[in-house]
């Protein structure tokens, strides 16, 4: 199971992300377990607990925007999950680079573009996680 955490102060944005991607966006990937956070403190706490593969952050969330939270997570969490940032204007991509986000998707959400970006991040994340070896021990994935 892949775990994706969606952060936005707007429940409609969180719902659009979940509905656009669905539970199993690609057959080669495990189903997605969706988690939600509606404030920055809850987001940081949940990511710090571990077990999140990708965070989808709303760059327009208030009072804590996804861009600042992305930078905070990347700088403070040792094994930070991949971060996909939703931005309102394509011109905000330079801010997304500052935020250290791994991928950027413009809003309004295009389901095809969002799904492709999220699948790419999930694949990349899975390549870096250890895989079970014979006897149940962990071995690095190649």
Convert the pLDDT of each residue in 8-39 to its tens digit: 999 999 999 999 999 999 999 999 999 999 99
| CA–CA–CA angle 58, 62, 86 (5° rounding) | 15
Q: Are strands 138-139 and 131-132 parallel, antiparallel or unpaired?
A: antiparallel
51 has pLDDT over 50: yes
pTM of the entire predicted model: 0.87
Look at the chain and report how many structural domains it folds into.
1
- pLDDT over 50 at 124, yes or no: yes
**Residue 48 belongs to domain spanning:** 2-139
CB half-sphere exposure, 95, CA atoms < 13 A: 17
Q: What's the CATH number where 112 sits?
A: 3.40.50.2300
Residue 135 has pLDDT above 80, yes or no: no
Are residues 6 and 36 in contact, defined by beta-carbon separation less than 8 angstroms? yes
CA 30/CA 27 separation, integer angstroms:
7
């Amino acid at each position: 199971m892949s775990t994706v955490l969606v952060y936005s102060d707007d429940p409609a944005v969180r719902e659009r992300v979940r509905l656009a991607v669905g539970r199993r966006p690609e057959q080669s990937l495990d189903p997605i377990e969706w988690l939600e956070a509606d404030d920055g403190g809850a987001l940081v706490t949940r990511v710090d607990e571990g077990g999140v593969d990708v965070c989808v952050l709303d760059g327009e969330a208030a009072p804590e925007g996804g861009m600042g939270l992305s930078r905070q997570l990347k700088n403070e969490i040792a094994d930070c999950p991949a971060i996909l940032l939703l931005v309102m204007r394509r011109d905000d991509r330079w801010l997304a680079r500052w935020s250290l986000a791994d991928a950027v998707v413009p809003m309004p959400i295009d389901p095809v573009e969002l799904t492709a970006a999220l699948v790419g991040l999930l694949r990349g994340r899975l390549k870096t996680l250890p895989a079970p070896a014979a006897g149940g021990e962990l071995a690095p994935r190649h």
